[in-house]
Amino acid sequence: MENACKDYYKTNDDKELIEDKTKEKVKIKADKKKIEIIKEREASVCYNSKKNDKGIKCDAESVAGSVSQRACVYCGARVVLNPITDAYHIVHGPIGCASYTWDIRGSLSSGEEVYRNSFSTDLREEDVIFGGEKKLAAAIDEVVANYSPKVIFIYSTCIVGVIGDDVEAVCRKAEEKYSIRVISVKSPGFAGNKSTGYKLACNALIDLMGKKKDENKEKIEGINILGDFNLSGEIWILQKYLKEMGVKVVSKITGDGKTEEIMNAPRAALNIVQCAGSMVYLAKQMEELYDIPFIKVSFLGIEDIKSSLLNIADILGNDEMKRKTKVMLDREEKKISSKLIYYKNRLKGKKAAIYVGGGFKAISLIKQFNELGMETVMVGTQTGKQEDYDIIKSLCNEGTVILDDTNPSELEKFILEKRPDILVGGVKERPLAYKLGVAFCDHNHERKHALSGFEGAENFAEEVDMSINSPVWKLISDAGF
């Protein structure tokens, strides 16, 4: 390894320069350990302690001055609705807001591809002064003239919230004119945080399904899948299991979703909720409006896959369904068990840090790391609820750092303090991990392979192993970075 490092130095001057820089970096790292937590954030950060549990502040607005990793309201709404494959999305606002498109989400479709387009009213200074309603009506006309939409979602962004366009009136007129659904999503970025956007998206979905139960429509003995966005085809893995179990899927909300099947969702017998952060609100609404009970499920990691599928079979099934489910679970687990043992041997004793969107995903990841013999030393979420943090605390060791709605400087502080071998997060956390010389696993919408189901559990173990045990970390540390 020494030789490999020596190759970097072309001359002795270069060597001295690098050594000086290294000393400087070590000093900077040491200084970073002194990063102070903003006073108003102190209640949202804690070291896990079973004896002295003061609870954690969560499910609240972000603190001004703290660079929250949460996205804006509009973005929260868009990420939930965008995967509906035959829906059209018009972003009423400046062109910059429209940059949040399919391209940075990656949910897959088994049919239509129109959802990969983004439409914008491209509001300019003149529209801000004189109003943008005419431009919005013209944009709807253009989409209808060029395509045959069944549903268009209209997102109001910050500036529309400021100038006060009557978007709902424009939507109503367009619905009358074209006899299609044109649904207003009032989502100016300043109206809250990403969670507010999730709620607005759920309200738009209720609007699409109908706000009242249609007593004339018969129930279907099947389920709605809520909160799977079909990243890398994950919903198809789940559908394969459900098909073998004999469970009918009424609708997928929203990964690989279709307008008509979502409109049929009120007829289902059960809702299963994966992304709890975005979809528990919808599940509760559907329970109230259409009498559909819901359960939370997760298909990340062997323990949660098995308990979730068995739970579905228990609620819906006859004895034959339960038997089929057990046979399938045994078979699928056996298929990957030798590989998981191989990865466990390579990962045993390593430390993990987690910073993800929802609480339920964080809980599954802690269990998944346990299955691989790893310890979670830091865990946080953007939108976790008190009940999620209670479970997180019960699963983690004493002293694990727990954070709600954190910021880059806190992440840096605790990564330097706890020295995890890997950080699991999304696109915003990736550069931080690499800058601090820590392996990274993308568990958000940019991932390119499935991480759920049995095959996903194997992919996850493989990725964690490849990232942690990559030779690059030793090269970097030997070079003093």
Cβ closer to ligand SF4: 157 or 400? Answer: 157
Cβ closer to ligand SF4: 77 or 245? Answer: 77
Does position 197 interact with ligand SF4 (CB under 6 A)? The reply is no
Cβ closer to ligand SF4: 426 or 453? Answer: 426
Distance CA 449, CA 202 (A): 27
Cβ closer to ligand SF4: 197 or 266? Answer: 197
∠ CA 272-273-274, rounded to 5°: 120
Helix %, strand %, coil % of the chain (to 5): 50, 15, 35
Question: Among all residues, whose Cβ is closest to ligand SF4?
Answer: 189
Q: Which amino acid is at 286?
A: M
Cβ closer to ligand SF4: 97 or 208? Answer: 97
| Torsion sign across C-alpha atoms 280, 252, 79, 424 | positive
Binding mask 175-194 for ligand SF4 (x = CB under 6 A): -------------xx-----
Query: Which residue has 């706000």 as its token pair?
Result: 211
User: Binder to ligand SF4 among 66, 157, 325, 400 (CB under 6 A)?
Assistant: 157
Q: CB burial class (10 A; 0-12, 13-18, 19+) of residue 55?
A: exposed
Binding mask 318-337 for ligand SF4 (x = CB under 6 A): --------------------
Binding mask 98-137 for ligand SF4 (x = CB under 6 A): ----------------------------------------
The secondary element (H helix, E strand) that includes residue 296 is strand 294-296
Helical H segments across 247-358, by residue range: 259-264, 276-290, 302-316, 319-347
Q: Quote the tokens at residue 124.
A: 């300019």
85: preceding bond cis by omega (within 30 degrees): no
Range 72-101, binding ligand SF4 (CB under 6 A): 72, 74-75, 93, 97
State in angstroms the smallest separation of the CB of 93 from ligand SF4.
Answer: 6
User: Binder to ligand SF4 among 154, 158, 283, 379 (CB under 6 A)?
Assistant: 158
Cβ closer to ligand SF4: 65 or 96? Answer: 96
Interstrand relation of 401-404 and 45-47 (parallel, antiparallel or unpaired): antiparallel
State in angstroms the smallest separation of the CB of 74 from ligand SF4.
Answer: 4
Q: Residue 182's CB: how many other CB atoms inside 10 A?
A: 25
Query: Which residue has 């931080």 as its token pair?
Result: 432
Which residues in this chain contact ligand SF4 in the complex, by CB under 6 A? 72, 74-75, 93, 97, 157-158, 188-189
